[in-house]
Amino acid sequence: MTVTDTTLPSEPLRIEPHVKRIAIVVIMGLIMSVLDTTIVNVALDDLSHDLNASLESIQWVITGYLLSLAAVIPITGWAVRRYSARRLYLIALVVFTAGSALCALASTSNELIACRVLQGIGGGMLTPIGQIILVKAAGPRNLPKVMSFIGVPIVLAPVIGPTLGGLLLQTAGWQWIFLINVPVGIAAFALALRLLPHDVAGSAEAGRLDVLGLVLAAGGTVGLTYGLSKSASAGSLTAPSVLIPVILGLVLISLFVVHARRAAHPLLDLKLFSNPAFSAASLVTFCLGGALFGAMILMPLYFQVVRGQDALVTGLLLIPQGVGGGLGMALSGRLTERLGGGRTAMIGCLILVVATIPFTMIGAATPYVVIGAAMVVRGIGIGLSIMPSMTAAFSVLRREQINDASPTLTVLMRVGGSLGTAIIAVVLQGHLSHAHTQVAQAASFAHTYWWVMAVSLIALVPTLLLVRVERRARANRQSASVLAAAPLLEPA
């Protein structure tokens, strides 16, 4: 499958009904997986008291999930070739749903952490395999609209998570933060069993598992994720607890790159990066992961630390960003068809930069209406930026390359998000440590948003590169079309 143009056809495209049904199944899985990265955050204090565990120990309920999520992603491309995407997606739903039920039944912190690791294994497979299924089902012409569907849970789940978690915590208890996944998981499994297309897979196509590549790629991803996740508690990016696992992760990933270039059947095909459009789109995905998810930690903390709101009210105050994200996603498919993924992502990044300006002036008494309006605009920028870049990456690939591209892009976005979150968290903590009044605390957030502005500007740079690559590719295609259409000249 190769998409050679992203311009709008003469008649509006309509996504086939079977593709819409597949999209519903995939989105249900993605929502559960992404939602559980944030929904537990508001319950740490309650978990610590109920399970008689220290807060430092109970943090592993989040860390364990994130690490298992990161570890399983690199193997999904090979596993899809070996066992088929449909079969693996069904297994992932079972593992995630069973892990969720076991989390609710846990009676000790160690049991809960172990069940969260199991849950993360299922969740880590849901995102890349869901993308593989949906991108292949959509075909080249429907890709922009379908990718905007995938973006809905990625953008909205981090906003909805704290709200839903706070509501469940106050009304039903922390067990329901996990139990809520069970009926959704069962429904998703039933629909997947009926609606997902059967695909052929076998050991001959997959080849033998690249065990060394798996150890290097999974170990490197886990090292980076773990090290960056420790930056907030360490209060520095150079603390040994951060630096040692990050350096180890970088070394393992470097060794994986060397190994993958030499191996006959590597775990992930890095030859994808020889395509300039895929390389540029991958860089955009990584940078946007840092710009988008890094900044998402600030507003919940502002509402709680500066304005004294509880978890439920904080979640409700975050809704405007979700509304803006939904509007951006609704527009992103059509704009990508008309303008291309690079231009659409560039527009989204520009909106992000402009929408960050009001937050650099936020104070202790800034009206919620003003904050909400700025969050809507920023949400639109988020919705317009992240998925068009991934659409541009998938659009230049052949059908058989999607199996490797999906886990690669998922890892890039997650590592970029972890890096952005680590930088923003450390900067904010440094400012808050010297803030002893409400006004000074608000100023700490305002100063930190200048770093968000810087990260957003950095993310804008590769979108310009992607625009240039797409423009050059479009010019080459037009030249080739003209030469193919021109009559051959007879020799004199």
Residue ranges per domain, the chain? 17-197, 210-259, 268-477
Q: What is the pLDDT of residue 204?
A: 54
Q: What is the pLDDT of residue 10?
A: 42
Domains 17-197 and 268-477 share a fold: yes
Query: Does the domain formed by 17-197 have CATH 1.10.10.10?
Result: no
Interaxial angle between packed helices 109-171 and 85-105, expressed in degrees from 0 to 180 and rounded to the nearest 10: 80
Q: Please list the ranges in the chain whose pLDDT falls under 70.
A: 1-15, 140, 158, 201-206, 476-492
Distance, CA of 288 to CA of 277 (rounded, Å):
16
Q: What is the pLDDT of residue 406?
A: 85
Phi, psi of 340 (to 5 degrees): 95, 160
**Amino acid sitting at position 467:** V
Query: Does the domain formed by 268-477 have CATH 3.90.1150.10?
Result: no
Q: What is the pLDDT of residue 445?
A: 92
Q: What is the pLDDT of residue 317?
A: 87
Contacts of 209 (CB under 8 A, 6+ apart): 75, 78, 82, 267
pTM, two decimal places = 0.81
